[in-house]
Chain A
Amino acid sequence: MIRFKNIFIVEDDPISALLIKKSLDKIDEFGQHFHFENGKLAIDGLKKFSRKNGGNPDLILLDINMPIMNGWQFLDSLVDDPSFSSIEIVILSSSIDPYDIEKSKYYNNVSGFLSKPLSVVKLKKLVKLL
C-alpha cells in the first residue's frame, strides 16, 4: 500500500540520487518520486506541484550539501512559507558531523536524519517511524 504517494528527492549527487531512487522503488509504501538537484529547484518544483495538484508532496528526502541552495537554506525558506510548513522532511546526508545532526533538531518539520548510503533496511525502519 502506498503511504507516500509523491516524494521529492533533493540531492545534487547523481549517484546518491540513483541509489535513493532504486531503494525507494523496492519498497511498496513509496509512490512516484521527483528529483531536484538543489534547494532552489526544489522550491520551484514545490510551487509548480501545488499549482498542478493543489497540495504538497508527502515526503521530502533532503541532502545538506548542495550548490546554489543547500539543505539548510531550503529548510529556512520553507519555514517562511506557511503553505509548506506541514510537509514531512527527512534529512538524508553523508555528513557524520555531529553539528549537522544537532542543527537539524531545530527545524520542527524535520522528522528524521538518515545517514548515507541509504539502504532498503534503513528506509523500512523510517517508514515505521513516520
Chain B
Amino acid sequence: MNKRLKKQLFRILADDNTLLEKLDDFSLDNLWIWSIPDIQDFWVNSGYCEMLSFPSDEIPEESSVLSGLLHESDLQKVNSAIETHITQETPLYDVVIRMKDYNGVLGWYRSRGIFSGNPKTISGYLIGSTTPLASSEKIETIFRKTIDASAEAIYVLVAHYVDYKVKDFIIRDINQKAEVELSMPRKDLIGGKINELFPINLENGYFERYKEAFLSRKPFRQEYTIPEGYPGTGDYESHVVPYNDGVIIYNRDLTQLVKTQEELEKAQEEIEDLDIHYQSVISTQSVYIFKTNIEGDFTYINEYFLKDFGFRRESLLGTNLFVTVFQLDQEESSKVLSKCVTQPNIFHPVILKTINEEGRLISGKWEFKGLLNVQGNLSEILCVGFDITEQVEALEKAHELISVTKDQNERLRSFAYIVSHNIRSHSANIEGLADLLVDVVGRDESMYLGMLQQSAAMLNRTINHLNQILSIQMSTEQLKKEIDLKDEVKRTLTIFEKQITDIKGTIKINIPHGFVINFVPAYIESVLLNLISNAIKYRQFEKELMVKIDAGITDGKKYFCVADNGQGLDLEKYGDELFGMYKTFHGNEDALGFGLFLTRSQIEALDGRIEVKSEVGAGTCFKVWLND
C-alpha cells in the first residue's frame, strides 16, 4: 500500500484539526486519500478494503487494483464532482458511484471528501470516506419505472470534461418517452455525447445553456424547435435541472401537446355536433318524446309533441302528466308509471287519450321506460309515443261495420228460415192442391189448372234456389273436404254421358293425376254441373261440341277451366250481368238465369274467383281460381 500517502494523510490531519472535525460528520470507517490532480495515486484504509469484501490477507498493494473497481461510466462523474468541489470551493465532495467488490459484485456507494490544497492550481489532496448504499438494484428499478412513467421525455446527462472543463454531455440515461421522441433505442444512445449525436445542440447554442445551468446550479426553462430532418422534430418546452454530475432535461413535446389539444377541441366540436344532430333528430322525429321525474313531472318534451298537441313547453314543463297531458286516462297512466318503478329498463306499452289544444281527442300509443342512473337507481322516466288516432278510429268503424254486418247476417238467417219453412210450406200447398184439383175439375178449366200447376212449380223452384243461395253463406269452412278433381269431373260427366253421345260431343280432360282441391263437395258438384251443362246447352248446333277441362297451378294458386267451342257471348255487352241472378242471354227457353249466379256464389263463398273469356261464335272459357 501507498505508505507515503498514508503518512501524508496523518500529517494533514495533524496539521488541520478542522478537517478532522468536518470528516467526522460523516464517517471515518472507510477512509481514503487521493492526490490531486493525479487521482490514480491514492491510499485506502483496511475498513475500505473490508467494505469491498477483500480478505484481510489479500489487501491489495497496488492502488490500480482499487481504481479499477470503479464503474467506468462513473469516472466522469467523479472527475466532475472533484472539479466542482475544488473550483467552486463547495463544502464537500459528495458523489454516488458504482463499484465492483472483491467478488466482482457491482454496488452503489456514496463517497464524500474534502479538498486540502491549493484550489487555484488544483493541487493537493482529497481526503474522504465511502459508505455502501443499500439495495441499489431496487432503487434502480424504481428509478427506471418512475422515469419511464413520465409523460415528459427525460434525459439524464453527465458532464463530459476535458481538462477539467465541460466540453460535452454524455447521455447516461433516457426514459421511454425520450426513446419514442427520438425514435432511437436506449442502448444506442446511452454513453453517447450529445454534441456528437445531435450537432444541433451546438448549432443552436443549447449546449451552452445546459453547461451554464450545470455550472451555475440554476435550473432554467426554454422553448425550442427541432427543425425537420433532425431526430425528434417538433416544438418542445424544456426544463433543464442541474444535479451533481450533470443536468437532467425534462422535455415536454409541445407539438404533441398542441396536437392533443387540437384533437381534444375537435372531439369536443364533434360531440357538440352530435348533440345538435341528436337534438334535431329527437325534435323533428314524428314521434312524441318526453321525460319526467319519478313523480311524473315533465322534465323534457320534444318539439314534435308540442307542435302536434299545441302545448307550450313553458306551461307544460314541471307539471304532472296525470294532471295535464293524460288527465283523461289518469288511472292507466299512473298504473304504467308504477310499472316503470317496479320494472325499470323495459318498455311498458299503453294507449292513452289526450285532448289537444284544439279540443280534438288524440289516441297515442305510448311506451314508458324507467331509466337508471350510473348508480343503478331509477332516476327518470322516458316516454316515446306516436299518434294512432286514425287507427283507433278505423278500428272503431270496423267494429261498427262488423256489428252492422252481424245484424244483417242475422236478418238474412231469419229470412232464410222464413223462406225455407213458411213461404215454402205455402207454395208446397199450392202445388199439392193444384195436383189434387186435376181429378175434380172439368176439361174447360184444365188449361187454367195446368197454368196454375206450372206457376206453383216455378214458385217452388225459385224458393229452392233462393234458399240454396242463402244457405251458402253459412259456415262453409267446416264443410270443406279434399276432393280429387279428376274423379269429381268424371263422376259429373256420367250424368251427361247419354246427352253427349247423342250430340256426338267430345270431352277432353286434362287434369294432373292426384290434383286435389279443398272444396265443399256439394259445391264442386254444382259448379261442374252448371259449367258443363252450360257448355252443352249453348253449343253451336252446326258444329260438333268440344269441351276441354283442365287444371293446374299458377303463382301458387290452383285453378281449373271448362272451355267449349260453343256460341260464345258478347262480353262487352253482357260481361257485367253474366253472373247476375235471372239473367239470360241466348233467348234459350231452358235458361233460368240462375246457374252462373249460383256458381259464382258458391266459388266466392270459398274465397275463390271465377273468370270468363268468350267470343261470339268461337266459344267460352270459364276459369275458376281456388283459394287453396
Contact = CB atoms under 8 A, between A and B. Distances in A.
Nearest to A63: B425
A94 B435 contact: no
Contact of A15 (B433, B464, B467): B433
B417 interface: yes
B337 to A, nearest CB: 54
The majority secondary structure among interface residues of chain B is helix
A19 interface: yes
A116 B428 contact: yes
A16 B464 contact: no
The majority secondary structure among interface residues of chain A is loop
Interface string B400-436: 0000000000000000110011101100110111011
Given A13-B425, A65-B421, A97 B432 contact: no
Interface in A109-125: 115-119
A110 to B, nearest CB: 18
B431 A117 contact: yes
- Greatest chain B CB density within 10 A among A15, A94, A116, A119 is at A94
B425 A97 contact: no
Nearest to A118: B432
A120 B51 CA distance: 149
Interface residues of A, number: 18
A117 B437 CA distance: 14
B45 interface: no
B429 A97 contact: no
Interface in B458-507: 463-464, 467, 471
Nearest to A94: B425
Interface string A56-85: 000000001100000000000000000000
Q: Give the bracket for the number of chain B residues in contact with chain A.
A: 10 to 19
Nearest to A117: B432
Contacts of B422: 65
A96 B467 CA distance: 7
A10 to B, nearest CB: 15
A116 B417 contact: no
Given A94-B428, A119-B435, 15 more contacts: A16-B425, A16-B429, A19-B429, A64-B421, A65-B421, A65-B425, A94-B424, A96-B464, A97-B416, A97-B417, A98-B471, A100-B420, A116-B425, A117-B429, A117-B435
Interface of A: 13, 15-16, 19, 22, 64-65, 94-98, 100, 115-119
Nearest 3 A-B pairs (CB), nearest first? A117-B432, A94-B425, A116-B428
29 contacts: A13-B425, A13-B429, A15-B429, A15-B433, A16-B425, A16-B428, A16-B432, A19-B429, A19-B432, A19-B436, A64-B421, A65-B421, A65-B425, A94-B421, A94-B428, A95-B421, A96-B420, A97-B416, A97-B417, A97-B420, A97-B421, A100-B420, A116-B424, A116-B428, A117-B428, A117-B429, A117-B431, A117-B432, A117-B435
